[in-house]
């Protein structure tokens, strides 16, 4: 009995001794260890299980890598890399790149709530969705950040704060290029398609240029080829795609002046604003528009009301006696001159409504710029968007006036 008890006691002592060992603090980011890893790699030595660390009492040593369960998404991994390298400061080998990245961003998720309220309705809704999505991204990442505590002497909560992750998320969202990569076990199953490309991301957007951009598997380089000539000392541009001003502001945080893809979106509540409230078939008409994908992306552009907007209005303007002709309307057929004129009149009323609303919003923005200097950059951004939309609406009302004369 004594012998057995003694053996159990020794086993327990060993377990207690093992638990008393302190966890190390990662030092693999330090220049001397980075150079050591390069030196070892040149001599065909690589290790994926251990990393340099400092331990209380024993000094420098090697510790096993932290097991990350569940594995992070590629986006979270990239954001974590940015935050941790920025936190490393002068000791980060990525400092030259980090120094040229914006300190702040102007995506809607970064705008003050009172500025977001000045955005056009459809964009305002997407801005709020973006804010919710980023906050949920942060909240769902906290456990992963906690698992990184052995790598930092400071509390990870102070390093991977919401503001730090927001900065990293905006950096990736506004500057990353598309580059599809094969799945890796260290990441979750989400698509790995984002890559940061230092220097390349200094190129600005212009809707007027034509480029082809992709990763060349043969050269193993990301290549951009332009089809637009550029004179010496002129700025070189790339094109992010045929995006309207709402998309550019939402995803990249800027508005491109005189954007040929810019437009003013007409939400459902404004679409029916000037239609008879006594129309008993209105709900059925709205249902038809939804079923045939004619309730979204209804716009005014530089060339006037879109075909989709006019088609939706023509269907909504059908009288009880013509309602059975709704399929012909969706196919672009003319029901009657009177029906055409009615739909154009409604489109003109909607256009005038937006002009009045935009002018009122521009006056409010001007007043806020005088009252709150701290918000002047954010307010100027929204002012640029609203001014562009006013020009589009003014062009549209002139085009509609010309179309209306054909039925007078």
Number of domains in the chain: 3
Range 32-37 average pLDDT: 85
Report which of 209, 196, 284 is spatially closest to residue 242, judged by C-alpha positions: 209
The answer to whether residue 133 sits within a structural domain is: yes
pLDDT at 201 over 70: yes
CATH number at residue 182: 3.90.1410.10
pLDDT at 125 over 60: yes
Identify the DSSP state of 304: E
67 pLDDT tier (thresholds 50, 70, 90): low
| Residue-wise pLDDT tens digits, 243-263 | 999 999 999 999 998 899 999
Q: Are 86 and 37 members of one domain? A: no
pLDDT at 364 over 80: yes
User: Quick one: tokens of 206?
Assistant: 């212009």
Please give the residue range of the domain that contains residue 176. 74-194+245-252
Out of 252, 273, 288, a domain closes at: 252
pLDDT at 375 over 90: yes
Confirm if 170 and 105 have CB atoms less than 8 A apart.
Answer: yes
Q: Are 349 and 279 members of one domain? A: yes
68 pLDDT tier (thresholds 50, 70, 90): low
φ and ψ at residue 264, rounded to 5 degrees? -110, 125
pLDDT at 70 over 60: yes
Identify the pLDDT of residue 96: 95
162 pLDDT tier (thresholds 50, 70, 90): very high
The answer to whether residue 218 sits within a structural domain is: no
CATH number at residue 303: 3.90.1420
The answer to whether residue 118 sits within a structural domain is: yes
Q: Are 289 and 371 members of one domain? A: yes
Query: Hey, which bits of 189-347 come out as E strands?
Result: 194-195, 204-205, 211-216, 221-226, 237-238, 264-265, 299-301, 304-305
Query: What average pLDDT does the chain have?
Result: 89
Identify the pLDDT of residue 53: 84
The answer to whether residue 234 sits within a structural domain is: no
Q: Rounded to 10 degrees, what is the CA torsion of 154, 158, 159, 161? A: 160
Q: Are 28 and 79 members of one domain? A: no
| Residue-wise pLDDT tens digits, 81-105 | 999 999 999 999 999 999 999 999 9
Out of 252, 274, 302, a domain closes at: 252
Q: Are 273 and 342 members of one domain? A: yes
Identify the pLDDT of residue 387: 97
Of 220 and 317, the one with more pLDDT: 317
Q: Are 47 and 84 members of one domain? A: no
The answer to whether residue 286 sits within a structural domain is: yes
Query: In what helix (H) or strand (E) does residue 26 lie, and over which residues does it extend?
Result: strand 25-26
Q: Are 58 and 93 members of one domain? A: no
Q: Are 38 and 85 members of one domain? A: no
Identify the pLDDT of residue 14: 38
pLDDT at 9 over 60: no
The answer to whether residue 145 sits within a structural domain is: yes
Q: Are 328 and 380 members of one domain? A: yes
The answer to whether residue 393 sits within a structural domain is: yes
Looking at the chain, the whole-number percentage of residues with pLDDT higher than 70 is 93
Distances (CA, A) of 221 to 85, 193, 225, 298, 386: 24, 15, 12, 40, 40
Q: Are 108 and 28 members of one domain? A: no
Identify the pLDDT of residue 66: 59
Handedness of CA 237, 239, 240, 245 (dihedral sign): positive
Report the distance separating Cα 402 and Cα 407, nearest Å: 10
The answer to whether residue 325 sits within a structural domain is: yes
Q: Are 15 and 105 members of one domain? A: no
């Amino acid at each position: 009995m004594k012998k057995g008890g003694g053996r159990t006691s020794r086993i327990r002592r060993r377990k207690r001794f093992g638990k008393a060992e302190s966890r190390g603090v990662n030092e693999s980011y330090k220049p001397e260890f980075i150079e050591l890893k390069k030196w070892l790699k040149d001599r065909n030595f690589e290790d994926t299980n251990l990393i340099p660390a400092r331990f209380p009492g024993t000094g420098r040593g090697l510790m096993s890598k932290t097991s990350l369960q569940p594995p992070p998404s590629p986006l979270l991994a990239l954001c974590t890399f940015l935050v941790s390298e920025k936190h490393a400061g002068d000791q980060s080998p990525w400092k030259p790149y980090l120094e040229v990245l914006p300190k702040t961003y102007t995506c809607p998720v970064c705008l003050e709530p009172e500025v977001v309220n000045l955005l056009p309705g459809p964009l305002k809704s997407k801005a709020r969705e973006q804010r919710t999505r980023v906050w949920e991204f942060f909240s769902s990442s906290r456990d992963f950040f906690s698992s990184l505590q052995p790598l930092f002497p400071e509390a990870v909560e102070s390093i991977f704060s919401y503001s730090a992750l927001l900065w990293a998320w905006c950096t990736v969202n506004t500057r990353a290029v598309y580059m599809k990569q094969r799945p890796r076990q260290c990441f979750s199953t989400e698509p790995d398609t984002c890559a940061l490309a230092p220097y390349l991301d200094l190129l600005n957007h212009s809707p007027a240029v034509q480029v082809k951009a992709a990763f060349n598997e043969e050269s193993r380089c990301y290549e951009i080829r332009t089809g637009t000539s550029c004179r010496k000392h002129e700025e070189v541009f790339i094109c992010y795609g045929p995006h309207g001003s709402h998309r550019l502001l939402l995803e990249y945080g800027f508005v491109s002046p005189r954007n040929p893809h810019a437009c003013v979106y007409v939400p459902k509540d404004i679409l029916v604003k000037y239609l008879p409230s006594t129309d008993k078939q209105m709900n059925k008409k709205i249902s038809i528009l939804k079923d045939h994908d004619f309730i979204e992306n209804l716009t005014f552009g530089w060339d006037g009301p879109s075909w989709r907007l006019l088609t939706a209005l023509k269907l909504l303007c059908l009288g009880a006696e013509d309602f059975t002709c709704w399929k012909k309307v969706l196919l672009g057929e003319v029901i009657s001159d009177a029906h055409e004129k009615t739909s154009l009149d409604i489109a003109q009323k909607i256009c005038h409504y937006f002009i009045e609303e935009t002018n009122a919003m521009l006056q409010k923005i001007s007043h806020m710029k005088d009252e709150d200097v701290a918000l002047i950059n954010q307010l100027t951004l929204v002012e640029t968007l609203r001014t562009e939309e006013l020009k589009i609406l003014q062009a549209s009302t002139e085009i509609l006036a010309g179309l209306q004369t054909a039925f007078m």
